[in-house]
Structure 1
Amino acid sequence: MEDRVRYICKRSVVSTKPVEQGKLYRFSVLDYIMEPNHIRLVYYYRSSKIRELGEITKVLRESLAHTLNCYPIITGRLVKEIDGTEEKDQDLNRQWKVRSNDAGVRMVEARATGTVDEWLRSVNREEELKLVHWEEMYRLPYYWSTFYVQVTEFESGGLAIGLSCSHLLADPVCAMMFIRAWADLTMTRSMMAPPLYHPLPPRRFTNHRLSNNNQLLSHYIKSCALTAQPSNVTEDRVVTVTLMFPDPLVRVGENEPGISTFEVLAGLFWICVSQAKGKNNELMDMSLCLDVRKLLRLDKSYFGNCMVYQKVHYSKPVKTKDKLLVSHVVQEIHNTTKRLDYDTVMDLIEWLSSNNNPISNGSDLVCTNLENMVNSRPMMFEKDFVLSHVSCYVEGPVAGGGQVIVLPSRSGEGPMSRVVMVSLPQREMVKVLENELLQSFSPVLLMENQ
C-alpha cells in the first residue's frame, strides 16, 4: 500500500513563560512501576471547510506553547538523583526525577492524503500509529522528550492530533486531560481545568497492618515479581478493532443497582476472548485497569499515575450454553470493583514504597475503564473542527495478553453507548468477532485496524 502519511518536520515547542530552572519533580510509587510502558492517543477531527495546508498547524503550535506554561513536568527532562546529586545516567540504584528546564516537547508536523473519513474507513493499526510519533529512550535521557505531539493535516479536509508519552509521567486519564486543556486554551484562550501536582495521600501513621485478604495487593505482589515473558506469546500479529455498542446495559437486562456499562462490556469480552483462546470450560485470567483518583479523594485534575490493576477471579463452573453467564460474570466484576476502597489502595501504595519493581500483567486480558472521560463541553480546537473519533493504545509489559479499552461514545449517541478498542492476535480476533454472544449485543464496527 502506498504510504499515505508524509512527514514535514520535527521541532521543539517550548512554553511562552520561563520555567523555574532546576526544580525537581518527583514521581510517586504508582509512577515508577509504569516506567517500561508508554501511551499513544490519536484524536480525529472532521472539518467543514478546506484550509490552506499548514494554517491550523501553526495555530496549534502557538497554542501548545501557551498550554505548556501549566505543564512544566512535561517540558522538563529526566535525570536520576541520589543524596541530592543529579546524575544523567541510568544507574538502577537511582530513581528518575524530572528536572525543570526550557527543553519543551517534540512536535512532528505531517500531511496525509484524502479526508479523515476516507482514512477511518481503510486505516490499519500500523498506519494509525504513523499518526502518533514515539521514540524509545536510548543512551541520552537528558535530551529525550518524554512527550511527543504530532499534528497531521489531511489534504482533502480534516485533522489528526497524536500524543504519545512515557507512562512513567502520566496515565491515559492525564494524557486525555492534557489534550482537553490544549483544546480549551486554543478555543477559548483559557484553561478550564489546569493540572494539579501534589503527592499521593501520606502514609497512615497508625497501627494499621496490610490486609491479608487484599486482592489488589496480592495481584501486585505477584505481578511485580514476574520477569518471564507471558506464556502464550504468539508470532501471530496483533490487530486492533474498534466497536460501538448502542446500549450494553439493555442487553444484560435488570441487574443489581450500580452496574456500570464498563462492567458489562468487560464481562462480555472476558467470555468472548476466553472462548477464542480455547477456554470453553473456564475463563482466562483478567485484570481491570481502574482510575482511583476519587477513591483516594484526589481532585480529578491530579496529574500523575492513578490507575490500578485489579485481578478478577471467577471460580464457578463455566457453561457456554448458560444464558445467564454474562450476568454472573458481570456481577463478579461488579463485586470486585466494589471491594476497592481507600484502605485497599493505600495498602498497595505503602507496600510499593519499598517494592516498586515494574508491574507485568503476564498473559492476563486487561480491560481499561476510560468511560468517564466524557465532558459536557465538546473537545474542539476551533469551531469548524468536530471530533470524530479517538484511539488509545497502551504499549509495554503492562498490556498483558490482550487489551480491551472502553471509551465514551461520540456525541449524538445514547448516554449508555460506548466505544471499545480491542487488541488481540489476529486469529483470536476473528473468532471474537464471529462470536454469537458478541453479535447479540449488536456492535457497530467503526474501525478494523488489520
Structure 2
Amino acid sequence: MLERKSRVRIQSKLTTVSSRPVGPGKTHPFTALDHAMAIHSLHVVFYYKANIFEDFDLDPSRVSLSDALSLYPPVTGRISRNGDGNWEVNCNDAGVRIVRASVGITLDEWLRSADGIEEMDLTVWDDMPEDPINWSPFRIQVNEFQGGGIAIGLSCTHMHADPTCATLLYKSWIDTHRTKAVAHLPVYSTYTTRRRSDSNNKTGSVTYYAAKSAARATTPSEKMATATLKFSHAVIKRCLMEITENCANATPFDLLAALFWTRVVRLKAARNHYSNSLSICTDGRRVLREDGKPLPLGYYGNALHFSLLTLEKLDGYDLGHVVGEIHGHVKSIDEEEIRSSIDWLESRAGVGKKYGPPFRMYGPELTCVSMEHMVGPFRPNGPESGPLMYEAGFGEEAEPIHVSYHVRNVEGEGLIMVMPSPEGGLARAVTVTLPEKELAELCEDQAILGLEPTMLLSGSLRC
C-alpha cells in the first residue's frame, strides 16, 4: 500500500504561555468521568475564508491567546499522578504547543477533495506518554491555505475537555482578541465529583456503563472513512412538519439521528451485521444542577452522558415513529440518570481511591452525538443566539464557514455527529464515520439524497 502524502506542511513550532503567572502549588484534579474518557482525544477545526493572521509569531492574536489562557490554568499545565494515583494537572504554566503549517491548495479545493482522515493533518497531536511531565495536553495548529484561507485546529485529551469545553476555550480566545467580555467564563466546579449517600445503581445508565467497561477492544476489520453532509434550514423544517403527528416537538437531532440510524441499519443488515441499538451521547450541562441552578455552560471538563436506545423491530417502523422514540429517550435523561452513572464511575475507585481504568465510551454500538445544546439560547436572561462555535469569528468579515469535530479511538459500528450549521436556524451538519464501503453506499442512499445535502470533506466518495 502506498503511503499517503500529506498536503499539509509544518513550517514552525512555538510555545505560548498565559499572560499572568499561575500561583505556586495550584492543581486541577480530574473527575471519575474525566478518567473514563482518557482513551479518547478530541480535535476541532475552525475554517475561515480569509487569512486572519499576517504573522502569527508577532500578531496581536498570539497576545490575546496568552490573555485568554490566563483564565485556563489547567490548559497550560502538565499532567501528573496525585497521592491517590489519579491523574491531575500541575498548573505550572508550561504552555500550549503552537504549530504553523501551510496547505498546498486553496480552502475551497480542500473542502471538496480532502476527507476526514486527511483533515486530521490540520491538527497536531501525539498520544500521552507514560510519563507526561513535559507533554502538552493541548495543541493548536494554524494552517494557511493558498489564496488566503485559514484553518485553526485545536486538539486535546478528552480527559481534559468535551466538545463544549473545547469550543468555549477557543471562543474565549476570540472574545479576548476582539476585546469583548468572555461570554462563558470557565467554571471549575466539584459538582460532578460529589459522592452522594443515596447512590442509585439500578438505572439503565449504570447497566450500560458497566457493560462498556467490560467490553473487550476489537480491531476494526474494515477501513473507516468520514464525510460531512450539510442540511438546510428549509429542508429540516419541511421534514419536521411532515412528522408532526408522530412527534410534534421533535428536534433536528431527533430527525437526523433517526434518518441516519435507519439507513445505516439497512446497509449493515444487507451484510448480516448490525445491531438494533443506538448509543446516544448528550451533554449534561442543562440537566445537572448545582445549588438549584443548571450547571454553567462554562463548566470545565466532561459533562457528557451516554445512553442506549434499543428498538426490537427497527426495520418495521416508519421514520416518524423512530424520531418519536429518539425524542422520548433523550427527554427521559434526567439528573438522576446522569448522576447514577457518575456515582457508578466513582464507585470503581479502589481502597486507595484510585479510579478504575478508562474504557471506550464511543461504541461499540453505532454512536450518535447531539450538539443541540450549542444552539442558542443557553444564556440566563440573554437573547437568542446562533450556534456558539460559529460565533468564534475574528470580526464581522471573518466568521467561521465550517467547524469540524473528531474523536480518536472510536470503536465499533460507527459514529454520527449532528452539529449546528453556519446557516443557523434548523440547519445542521452531520459528520458520519463508517466502514469505507458502507459510507460510499450511504452517500448514494436516496432517502438521504432526497434532502439535498451539501457534501464536504468526503474525499473520493461520490454523491
Q: Above 0.5 in TM-score?
A: yes
Residue in structure 2 matched with residue 290 of structure 1 by the alignment: 282
Residue in structure 2 matched with residue 78 of structure 1 by the alignment: 79
| Cα distance between partner residues in 1 of 2:5 and 2:275 | 42
Cα offset, 1:204, TM superposition:
3.2
Residue in structure 2 matched with residue 363 of structure 1 by the alignment: 364
Alignment of 1:19-418 (within 5 A): 19-47=22-50, 53-54=54-55, 58-82=59-83, 94-201=85-192, 202-205=194-197, 208=198, 210=200, 212=202, 214-229=203-218, 233-234=220-221, 236-246=222-232, 247-252=235-240, 253=242, 254=244, 255-278=246-269, 283-297=275-289, 298-316=295-313, 318-319=315-316, 325-355=318-348, 356-360=356-360, 361-374=362-375, 376=385, 378-397=391-410, 399-411=411-423, 415-418=425-428
Give the SS at the match of 1:15: coil
Change (3 A) 1:51 1:42: closer
Residue in structure 1 matched with residue 380 of structure 2 by the alignment: none
| Cα distance between partner residues in 2 of 1:351 and 1:152 | 42
Pair 1:439 & 2:449 matched: yes
Q: Which amino acid aligns with 1:42?
A: V
Task: Show CA shifts across 1:45-70 (max 9, x none).
Answer: 012xx778525873332221111000
Task: Show CA shifts across 1:202-258 (max 9, x none).
Answer: 3334xx45253x22221101001123316xx22x32211110112335225214233
**Paired positions, count:** 425
Contact 1:288 1:366 (8 Å CA) reproduced: yes
Change (3 A) 1:314 1:351: same
Task: Show CA shifts across 1:373-393 (max 9, x none).
Answer: 245363212444231111110
Give the SS at the match of 1:67: helix
Contact 1:225 1:357 (8 Å CA) reproduced: no
| Cα distance between partner residues in 2 of 1:124 and 1:280 | 25
| Cα distance between partner residues in 2 of 1:347 and 1:296 | 12
Calculate the aligned-residue CA RMSD, in Å.
Answer: 2.3
Task: Show CA shifts across 1:114-143 (max 9, x none).
Answer: 432222122223331111111112243010
Residue in structure 2 matched with residue 87 of structure 1 by the alignment: none
Cα offset, 1:40, TM superposition:
0.6
Residue in structure 2 matched with residue 90 of structure 1 by the alignment: none
Contact 1:405 1:422 (8 Å CA) reproduced: yes
TM-score normalised by L of structure 1:
0.88
| Cα distance between partner residues in 2 of 1:106 and 1:400 | 32
Give the SS at the match of 2:82: strand
| Cα distance between partner residues in 1 of 2:123 and 2:256 | 27
Contact 2:195 2:346 (8 Å CA) reproduced: no
Contact 1:371 1:418 (8 Å CA) reproduced: no
| Cα distance between partner residues in 1 of 2:314 and 2:418 | 27
| Cα distance between partner residues in 2 of 1:357 and 1:113 | 42
Give the SS at the match of 2:166: helix
TM-score normalised by L of structure 2:
0.86
Give the SS at the match of 2:257: helix
Contact 1:229 1:362 (8 Å CA) reproduced: no
| Cα distance between partner residues in 1 of 2:420 and 2:172 | 18
Contact 2:279 2:363 (8 Å CA) reproduced: no
Give the SS at the match of 2:18: coil
Contact 1:184 1:190 (8 Å CA) reproduced: yes
Q: Which amino acid aligns with 1:423?
A: T
Contact 2:14 2:97 (8 Å CA) reproduced: yes
Q: Which amino acid aligns with 1:442?
A: E
Change (3 A) 1:363 1:51: closer
| Cα distance between partner residues in 2 of 1:150 and 1:79 | 25
Q: Which moved more, 1:95-104 or 1:270-279?
A: 270-279
Give the SS at the match of 2:259: helix
